[in-house]
Structure 1
Amino acid sequence: MHQLRYGDIKAATDRIAGHVRPVTLTRVDPGAIRTAHRDPLDDRPEQPCEVWLAMEFMQHTGSFKARGAQNFIEAHRDAGTLPEAGVTIASGGNAGLACAWAAQKQGITATVFLPETAPAVKVAKLRGYGADVRLVGAEYAEALAACEEFAAATGALASHAYDHPLIAAGAGTLLEEIHQQIPGLDTVVVAVGGGGLFAGVTTAAQHHGIRTIAVEPENCRALNAALEAGRLIDVTVDSIAADSLGARRTSAMALHAAQQDGVHSVLVPDNEIVRARQALWDHRRVAVEHGAATALAALTSPDQHAPNRDLPTRPATPSRSYRPGNGEKVCVVLCGANTAVNTLVKQPEN
Structure 2
Amino acid sequence: MTTHTTAQISVDGMLEDLRTLVEVESPSLDVDAVTASAKTVAAVVESRLGRRAVLVEGEAGPHVRWSGGGDPKVLILGHHDTVFPLGTLERRPFRVQDGRATGPGVFDMLGGLVQAIHGLASLDDRSGIEILVTADEEVGSATSRALIEERALACGAVLVLEGAADDGGLKTGRKGCGTVEVSITGRASHAGLEPEAGINALVEAAHQVLEIASLNRPEIGTTVTPTVATAGTASNVVAAAATITVDVRVESAGEKDRVESAFAALTPRLDGAVITVRGGVHRPPMPESSAAELFALAQQLLPGIGGKKVGGGSDGNFTGALGVPTLDGLGAVGGGAHADHEYVIVDLMAERANLVAGLVKAIRGSR
Task: Please report the TM-score for the alignment, with normalisation by the length of structure 1.
Answer: 0.29
Which structure carries more relative contact order (alpha carbon 8 Å, separation 6+)? Answer: 2
Structure (1/2) with the larger strand percentage: 2
Structure (1/2) with the larger helix percentage: 1
Task: Please report the TM-score for the alignment, with normalisation by the length of structure 2.
Answer: 0.28
Larger Cα Rg: Structure 1 or Structure 2? 2
